[in-house]
Amino acid sequence: MSIAHHLIKSISTHLRLTEDVNALFSSVSIDTRSLQEGALYVPISGERFDGHQFIEKAIEEGAQASIWQKDIPVPASLPAEFQLYFVEDTLLALQKLAKLYRKEVNPKVIGVTGSNGKTTVKDMLASILSYAGTTYKTQGNYNNHIGLPLTILGMPADCQFLILEMGMSGFGEIHLLSTLSEPDAAIITNIGESHMEQLGSREGIAKAKAEIRDGLVAGGMLYIDGDEPLLQMLKGKDVCTVGFDRHNHNQVTNVLVDSTGFQFKLHSVGDLTLPMLGKHNVKNAALAASLAKGLGVSFSHIQAGLEQVKVSGMRLERLVGDHGELIINDAYNASPTSMKASVDALKDLDGFTHYIAVLGDMYELGANEKALHEQIADNIETPITHLVTVGEKGKWVYEATKKQQKSNGITLHHAPTVEEAANLIKPLLNDQTVILLKASRGLKLETILNYLKESGKGEMNK
């Protein structure tokens, strides 16, 4: 990437030095800990910190210049030759600069939002579109009002496809991200229950996610989960529905599953292969493939991209344990929708004698959190042989499942801690065992992998 002086000058009220600087900045950074030589430093003021206080550290790390909020005094110790671009508000300046750079590079911009699956869809799109041209995507969780502008400013100058993940916790946030980035195409993966505390209902979540349509360029297309009733409000020539139901514009049919993944047919695209677990990922792949087809990407590139996709860690990640057991690490985060989908993915697998579902707390579910945890019990059925719940909220899943169980042979246990859960599982570890790990990020359920490597005894009797 290279951010030119004239772009920053255009959003500034005045400059500290000459206005004839002919500079190019190699990167834009808000954090001195990761700042690179030749960067433009943007100090952001937060509730607990003020980036302006770290200007000397930024210079020490190699910053070439800095945006500066004009009502904040400039330190007398600042080197005389160091350039400052004065602005009213540094966060707004960061967002304005990103919008200008997006227009200057002018790639095809794709926005992705949804309660679950947006990171997976982002990764699928990046894999597909990289066959068609230079592609850049949101790194990590840089999907909010600060992270998204930094993502835009991080794309290379020759970028042809820019994939932006858009997260939110309340109304108006997706609107800001969409109007800032002006997508040529966008996806809403699904509507779940995350952020119920802030948005009140799934209807509220759907309304907030639908804001991604606000910034679409003229002629842009929105691809949505057509099987979700709450998204039926989105109609028009700019909306393409994708899903399993017959009424969808792009219907998924002929779904076949084995231990390596799925084969399926997508109307308007063709017969596709997906080497991933979870039927919900078939729909994620269908959304990505539909959008890519809409951008003119060839079938061969779509199929190659799906075959080579590398999704971010802890999302139905397949691992082999020390005893030959298959571990499905889906512990990055969880909502009732995604937990049910993960349990169903576990049940889709063939050839094991022990099917262990390790399920933990789910957060940000609002006043109905107990009932939403209890709903998971509906999906606990054969071939699952063992259920281990973890945490205070996870216990609700255990209790509800115990009420439903009669004599169907599923062993149920609750473990207050991750370590105790590991001790329950250890006696069952062999090459005929498959384990699913699923919980919200805060529980850090993936740490069970460390305990499973340790020696120890546990009991898993009915």
Residues at the binding site for ATP are 114-120
Instruction: Compute the half-sphere exposure of residue 47: CA atoms within 13 Å on the CB side of its CA.
Output: 0
Cα separations in angstroms, 36 against 40, 81, 140, 258, 291:
9, 19, 18, 46, 35
Question: CB of 390 within 8 A of CB of 218?
Answer: no
Residue type, 150: L
> What's CA 158's distance to the chain center, in Å?
25
**Amino acid at the residue 291:** L
Task: Please state, in angstroms and rounded to a whole number, the distance separating the CA atoms of residues 112 and 188.
Answer: 6
Number of residues assigned to the chain? 462
Whether 339 and 376 have beta carbons less than 8 Å apart is answered as yes
58, 32 contact by CB (below 8 A): yes
Task: For residue 85, list its beta bridge partners.
Answer: 15, 67
Binding residues: 114-120
Q: Where are the beta strands (DSSP E) in 19-78?
A: 24-25, 27-29, 39-41, 65-69
